[in-house]
């Protein structure tokens, strides 16, 4: 299992509550959820992968459960990993999805 399927199911359920339409794509050894072809959030192993607009990166990275996405060995621009402690509740997970959706809409 390349990604935690339970986390992916939680994300899929919450995405269904949004009026926007999302697509799924295998990326980074996990699964990503895209809005109009732009990545919003995803699941890699047991972590949530989130796109964050540049203006919010410093603030987001100050959270204990967040680290730069270093999939290639160096931090990737506007990507973070969130440990499971950061999305215990559905409300927390929803906030991460909103952050990822904000990034995608900002890139359209």
pLDDT in tens, 15-54: 999 999 999 999 989 999 999 999 999 999 999 999 999 9
How many domains does the chain divide into? 1
Specify the pTM. Answer: 0.95
The CATH number of whichever domain residue 55 belongs to comes to: 3.30.1460.30
Helices (H) and strands (E) counted in the chain, each on its own, are 3, 6
Domain that holds residue 43: 5-106
What are the angstrom distances between the C-alpha of 17 and each of 2, 5, 11, 57, 103? Answer: 26, 19, 10, 26, 18
The CA distance from 104 to 6, in Å, is 24
pLDDT in tens, 44-86: 999 999 999 999 999 999 999 999 998 778 889 999 999 999 9
């Amino acid at each position: 299992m390349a990604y935690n399927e339970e986390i992916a199911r939680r994300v899929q359920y919450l995405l269904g509550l949004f009026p926007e339409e999302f697509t799924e794509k295998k990326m980074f050894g996990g699964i990503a959820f895209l809005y109009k072809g732009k990545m919003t959030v995803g699941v890699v192993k047991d972590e949530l992968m989130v796109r964050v607009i540049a203006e919010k990166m410093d603030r987001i990275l100050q959270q204990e459960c967040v680290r730069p996405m270093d999939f290639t060995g160096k931090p990737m621009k506007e990507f973070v990993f969130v440990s499971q402690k950061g999305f215990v509740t559905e409300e927390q997970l929803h906030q991460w999805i909103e952050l990822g959706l904000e990034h995608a809409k900002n890139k359209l």
